[in-house]
Chain A
């Protein structure tokens, strides 16, 4: 088994939504084969055994697909390794003796609930405003009745791979959710099924994003760099084009 490495952890602690936050230092020895969340599991086990308050953090699938986890490691949402969710970040990427700072995703729209846990429900509100195709369950036409070019379907899938973790917001200095919204807008804008509501959708989603307190985009590309799924910034451009088109064409004017 690989030899353990020793690390100093400075972890953000906050007892309740109202409490003041602070950093707490921990010294830990961990196998490089563990993921960073497994390291926290172990640390929590030790804390619980001493009847101390464990570190609250969220995770679920631990395979990088559910989007539940999200810790800012040394300033990077999901840590320093590109295209890697926090749960897939393994300790072999760190050196013996290193110091790590672990913080929650910070953004105006995300309330810090406890320690490393934040409330990302504003992202759901944006989807509820228009992130869907309005089709009831029933008898849609046969799935093969509309051929869709392979390339188009793959582009839509590239956009649809967003895991909704919200790291893009935490990475952005304006706490903008444009990459998240752009990805969903693009998925449907690319597909024939998404055309009927295309312009209403983009307006509804963008307006809700603004209402939720997310900032605007100033093209720093930080979101793309930190996205664990590598969602492309071109999705933002596509969204902006559609939004502009919607605004200048009177028939789809909603607001």
Chain B
């Protein structure tokens, strides 16, 4: 067992962070340059952290598997970023943003972390604007906001549908400035394959140079992981092709606990897969549900074209089941019901895994021009991808995994259970509980990188005063050996199956049994199947070419090997949690109306899993207490 100490400071929630900033140790300016800090991942969280730490005077080494830090998947976030500015004078406040986020997370997040997130949200907007991020503005020249799900105020800042891109490029520019100044050494096309732990503290990493295949050692007095989420365990997700869990997972196997792996978010409005050749899913903005009507045929196996199905033979199932909210029910409810109707054989499209999102009534009501003004670019994108014109035939949508709330366990300082190893952004578990609200991912990544880690890292260094370690130490040699052996093993299998084929099979099991809706039997079956797949992977995959060159199949194989272990842990976590909350829905635990039934008595805790050996974990619990936001039930009837 690991003793989990959240290190939440004492005091009223609104004073904790401010007070704690004063209590934390500092590193004096002259000493900062004596510290080498390793940052892995250069998306929103990693780039903002690397830039800020370098500005403070630390010597930073930043690593990315991309060719440039500007590629990170943060770039694809469309909607916006929340902040409690209350520019709209509509009753927003830090407390309200905190309240909405805890409630939206279905009471499975840590109150103190969430409050701090809300508290620094305003600084992020100021920082981004100072960097030249061109947010949307009113005619008077002041910033404008839009509203998003889970909130009754307008607090979302945005730049067209490209908010993630603009914020990432802002952080990238800050990082580039520090690279140019020589304060950050940027290592691109490097993939972290192991963590080096010396005397119980994180002191380095082992990376593979993706172009030459060389295995390299890097030492530092602290290691920061900002390596994103693990939705690609499902094979088809909205995550970028290269997003993976490997850095976090290898750290997990070195002793960092993995928290709430079953908490994943499945977005209801992605463009459905066109068939087996699909490699990735594309998200459509949720705003479409404001005017589109979701339906499927009443009769299973109805292959008529949508326009040939008369009104009385259509089932507008959300409107029927949830008359108050209709098509605007929350993400998880919409996703779940789409799955149910498709499971009944009433799904549409070539694969039968899709539902209609119909704008015919909206066009009748508002006129085509108004619809075009509101959704024109989305319709265009849809037509470009599917070849169908949504003004004439209903769109087809289907849920897709797109964010993971679970991740490496961290305390209030964002430090994992390995001292000196910090985890930021989507890679940690801390702020979103069992469900993340829209426009909160960008906020968390930047809060962690710009405004939290600069303080908490200083406290660690000031308290521990870690000395420089040499990469000649046996711990580095051991970790390098470990990496080399894994690569050797992967290349020597020379079996019959492709890496992608196994990944697809894993994805099927995960989405089917550990996806939108879960049951005890299904999860047990998933564990069995995942173990079989893992066995098959290690005995029957084939990787052409060697490890001395750019070998993208080898890169993928290493990542799939980790997904095959993580997938099992996700199923175990889901099996352990005998309740439904947020993105985790267990069919056995629902109200009579089919709503998620939380069990606060028994499951108001963070499930933090300790790695023992492959397929074996020990559960550690961090109890959650809610002093400020009292747990309540959701209802959308």
Q: Which residue numbers of A lie inside 8 Å of B, CB to CB?
A: 1-2, 15-16, 30-35, 37-39, 41-42, 44-45, 47-49, 51-54, 56, 58-63, 65-68, 84, 88, 90, 92, 113-114, 117, 119-121, 123-124, 127-137, 139-144, 146-150, 153-154, 156-157, 160-161, 163-164, 187-188, 191, 193-194
Are the C-beta atoms of A52 and B130 separated by less than 8 Å?
no
Task: Tell me which residues across on chain B come within 8 A of A132, comparing CB atoms.
Answer: 131, 173-174, 176-177
Contacting residue for B277 out of A38, A134, A148, A160, CB 8 A: A38
Task: Tell me which residues across on chain B come within 8 A of A136, comparing CB atoms.
Answer: 52, 55
Within 8 A of A (CB), among B436-473: 450-451, 454
User: Given A41-B279, A48-B553, A63-B282, is A120 in contact with B67 using a C-beta cutoff of 8 Å?
Assistant: yes
Task: Tell me which residues across on chain B come within 8 A of A45, comparing CB atoms.
Answer: 498, 500-501
Task: Tell me which residues across on chain A come within 8 A of B550, comparing CB atoms.
Answer: 56, 113-114, 117
Within 8 A of A (CB), among B116-162: 123, 125-143, 159-160, 162
Task: Tell me which residues across on chain B come within 8 A of A48, comparing CB atoms.
Answer: 498-500, 542-544, 553
In angstroms, how far is the closest chain A Cβ from the Cβ of B482?
Answer: 26
User: Given A42-B277, A56-B552, is A65 in contact with B68 using a C-beta cutoff of 8 Å?
Assistant: no
User: Given A124-B176, A131-B176, is A68 in contact with B132 using a C-beta cutoff of 8 Å?
Assistant: no
> What are 24 A-to-B residue pairs whose CB atoms are below 8 Å?
A38-B278, A41-B279, A47-B544, A48-B500, A48-B542, A49-B496, A49-B498, A51-B494, A54-B553, A65-B162, A88-B384, A128-B176, A128-B177, A131-B173, A136-B52, A137-B174, A143-B126, A144-B143, A146-B129, A147-B140, A147-B141, A153-B135, A187-B132, A188-B132
Are the C-beta atoms of B129 and A193 separated by less than 8 Å?
yes
Task: Tell me which residues across on chain A come within 8 A of B544, comparing CB atoms.
Answer: 47-48, 51-54
Interface residues on B, range: 35 or more
Are the C-beta atoms of A62 and B274 separated by less than 8 Å?
no
Stretch at the interface among B71-79, B362-370, B524-532, B592-600: B71-79
User: Given A1-B350, A59-B241, A60-B242, is A84 in contact with B384 using a C-beta cutoff of 8 Å?
Assistant: yes
Contacting residue for A129 out of B73, B180, B278, CB 8 A: B180
Are the C-beta atoms of A149 and B71 separated by less than 8 Å?
no
Task: Tell me which residues across on chain B come within 8 A of A139, comparing CB atoms.
Answer: 123, 126
Task: Tell me which residues across on chain A come within 8 A of B16, comparing CB atoms.
Answer: none
Are the C-beta atoms of A164 and B174 separated by less than 8 Å?
no
Given known contacts A39-B277, A147-B141, what 19 new A-B pairs fall within 8 Å (CB)?
A: A37-B279, A41-B500, A44-B553, A45-B500, A49-B497, A49-B542, A53-B545, A61-B76, A62-B280, A113-B550, A131-B173, A133-B131, A137-B48, A137-B55, A143-B135, A156-B134, A157-B134, A163-B165, A164-B70
In angstroms, how far is the closest chain B Cβ from the Cβ of A24?
Answer: 15
Q: Is residue B219 contacting chain A, with contact meaning CB distance below 8 A?
A: no
Are the C-beta atoms of A140 and B141 separated by less than 8 Å?
no
Within 8 A of A (CB), among B46-68: 48, 51-52, 55, 66-68
Are the C-beta atoms of B280 and A143 separated by less than 8 Å?
no
**Closest residue on chain A to residue B242 by CB atoms:** A60
Q: Is residue B387 contacting chain A, with contact meaning CB distance below 8 A?
A: yes
In angstroms, how far is the closest chain B Cβ from the Cβ of A191?
Answer: 5
Task: Tell me which residues across on chain B come within 8 A of A164, comparing CB atoms.
Answer: 68, 70
User: Given A41-B279, A51-B544, A132-B174, is A90 in contact with B385 using a C-beta cutoff of 8 Å?
Assistant: yes
Q: Is residue B85 contacting chain A, with contact meaning CB distance below 8 A?
A: yes
Are the C-beta atoms of B160 and A157 separated by less than 8 Å?
yes
Contacting residue for B130 out of A32, A135, A149, CB 8 A: A135
Distance in angstroms between the alpha carbons of A139 and B498 in the assembled complex: 52
Are the C-beta atoms of A65 and B76 separated by less than 8 Å?
yes
Q: Is residue B10 contacting chain A, with contact meaning CB distance below 8 A?
A: no
Are the C-beta atoms of B165 and A114 separated by less than 8 Å?
no
Distance in angstroms between the alpha carbons of A245 and B563 in the assembled complex: 55
Are the C-beta atoms of B275 and A143 separated by less than 8 Å?
no
Within 8 A of A (CB), among B538-594: 542-545, 549-550, 552-553
Task: Tell me which residues across on chain A come within 8 A of B497, comparing CB atoms.
Answer: 49
Distance in angstroms between the alpha carbons of A137 and B49 in the assembled complex: 10
In angstroms, how far is the closest chain A Cβ from the Cβ of B122?
Answer: 8
What 1/0 flags go to B173-210 for Cβ under 8 Å of A?
11011011000001010000000000000000000000
Q: Is residue B211 contacting chain A, with contact meaning CB distance below 8 A?
A: yes
User: Given A38-B277, A48-B542, A150-B139, is A142 in contact with B177 using a C-beta cutoff of 8 Å?
Assistant: no
Within 8 A of A (CB), among B496-541: 496-501
Are the C-beta atoms of A193 and B132 separated by less than 8 Å?
yes
Are the C-beta atoms of B385 and A67 separated by less than 8 Å?
no
**Closest residue on chain B to residue A58 by CB atoms:** B67
Distance in angstroms between the alpha carbons of A152 and B125 in the assembled complex: 19
Distance in angstroms between the alpha carbons of A32 and B387 in the assembled complex: 9
Q: Is residue B240 contacting chain A, with contact meaning CB distance below 8 A?
A: yes
Are the C-beta atoms of A150 and B138 separated by less than 8 Å?
yes
Are the C-beta atoms of A60 and B173 separated by less than 8 Å?
no
Are the C-beta atoms of B177 and A140 separated by less than 8 Å?
no
In angstroms, how far is the closest chain B Cβ from the Cβ of A151?
Answer: 9
User: Given A49-B542, A124-B176, A135-B131, is A31 in contact with B275 using a C-beta cutoff of 8 Å?
Assistant: yes
User: Given A41-B277, A56-B550, is A137 in contact with B70 using a C-beta cutoff of 8 Å?
Assistant: no
In angstroms, how far is the closest chain B Cβ from the Cβ of A142?
Answer: 6
* CB-CB nearest 10 A-B residue pairs: A147-B141, A128-B180, A140-B130, A132-B173, A33-B274, A157-B134, A143-B129, A60-B240, A1-B350, A137-B52
Distance in angstroms between the alpha carbons of A2 and B164 in the assembled complex: 34
Are the C-beta atoms of A144 and B498 separated by less than 8 Å?
no
